[in-house]
Amino acid sequence: MRTTFFKSANAPCFAVCVALALGAGATASKAGEHAGVQAGKADERAVVEHAAHAAPLVTAARNGDAAAVEALLRGKPRTDVNQRASDGTTALHWAVYRNDVRMVERLIAARADVRAVNDYGATPMSEAAVVGNVRVIEKLLAAGADVDSPNEDGQTALMIIARTSNVDAARLLLKRGADVNARERWRGQTALMWAAAEAQPAMVQLLIEHGAEVDARSNVNEWERQVTAEPRMQARPSGGFTPLLYAARRGCAECARILLDAGADVNLSDPDGVTPLLLAILNFNTDTAALL
């Protein structure tokens, strides 16, 4: 199931309807309960209709209705191409999500904001990275999209694509100046770490060719050790992984080979002193262990 970075405009309706239905039926008869449910359904329809009326272009794009999109853009008065749904999502967000290249082109031609950010931190570019369509990414970049615009977690398009086998999309981003060593906010992981962790050797090779740091470390976080040999609490570090440690844990021997050939330190350990070799053994990755 594909993960997306924004939610349907209909999402709030369910909670509203359930609350109304439960509230109406809590102390009423069956007839009252039925009336409450019907009221809830009517309210849901009203919310949906209001959303469609408030942002008709967004609704048309969400539904993939190219004719409606065209009519709205050509109408008098002309519909604002950058109108937003209640969650800040634009028509361009939805066109990208639907992988509709023609609609993306039409909206961009109408001056859609390619850098629009919705309430969930998603931009058309971050969504395009999830979809992985190179043509859509090209259109967005040509229209001025920021190649390194992060989503809410600080992940750039390159990081999102790096965990897949979509080398063509990654190559395009790198050609357009994507920061190969950018880090996301949560763990400080780079695109190379993502590629190694997801066993994508071709991606690992491409990123290294474009200057990815082979011995970079993710952030080290402290958490309390719950079970120890001593009667006192101890702080235990987590994180601090290098791309080679990620490859060893995943068991991607080819990723490990590429990293070693590029000069990765085979003995760099995690904060607990676990080396790539030991990590591979602990995870029963015998091929990777033999290589190391």
Q: Does residue 211 surpass a pLDDT of 60? A: yes
Give me the chain's average pLDDT, please: 84
- Token pair 């990275």 is found at 129
Query: For residue 220, what are the β-bridge partners?
Result: 239
DSSP SS3 for 38: helix
Question: Which residue, 50, 132, 113, is CA-closest to 85?
Answer: 50
- Token pair 């770490």 is found at 193
CB 273 within 8 A of CB 257: no
Residue type, 27: T
- Give the integer Cα–Cα distance in Å for 109 and 68: 16
Q: Does residue 222 surpass a pLDDT of 90? A: no
Q: Higher confidence at residue 136 or residue 2?
A: 136
Q: Higher confidence at residue 17 or residue 65?
A: 65
pLDDT for 221: 72
pLDDT for 21: 28
C-alpha angle 25-31-37 in degrees, rounded to nearest 5:
50
Report CA 180 to chain centroid distance, whole Å.
17
- Give the integer Cα–Cα distance in Å for 48 and 40: 12
- Give the integer Cα–Cα distance in Å for 255 and 204: 7
Q: What is the pLDDT of residues 12-39, one digit of tens each?
A: 332 323 232 223 333 333 334 344 434 3
- Give the integer Cα–Cα distance in Å for 114 and 105: 11
- Give the integer Cα–Cα distance in Å for 156 and 178: 9
Q: CA neighbours within 13 Å on the CB side: how many for 271?
A: 14
Q: What is the pLDDT of residues 102-135, one digit of tens each?
A: 999 999 999 999 999 999 999 999 999 999 999 9
Across 276-283, average pLDDT:
98
SS3 content of the chain, % helix, strand, coil (to 5): 50, 5, 45
Alpha carbon of 248 to those of 60, 165, 264, 276: distances in Å? 47, 19, 12, 6
- Give the integer Cα–Cα distance in Å for 8 and 3: 13
pLDDT for 112: 99
C-alpha angle 54-57-59 in degrees, rounded to nearest 5:
75
CATH 1.25.40.20 fits 180-292, yes or no: yes
pLDDT for 235: 44
- Give the integer Cα–Cα distance in Å for 36 and 32: 6
Q: Does residue 161 surpass a pLDDT of 70? A: yes
* DSSP at 165: S
pLDDT for 169: 98
Question: Which residue, 209, 167, 213, is CA-closest to 188?
Answer: 213
Q: Does residue 163 surpass a pLDDT of 50? A: yes
- Give the integer Cα–Cα distance in Å for 72 and 119: 24
pLDDT for 5: 46
As given in the structure block, the two tokens for residue 100 are 């509709």
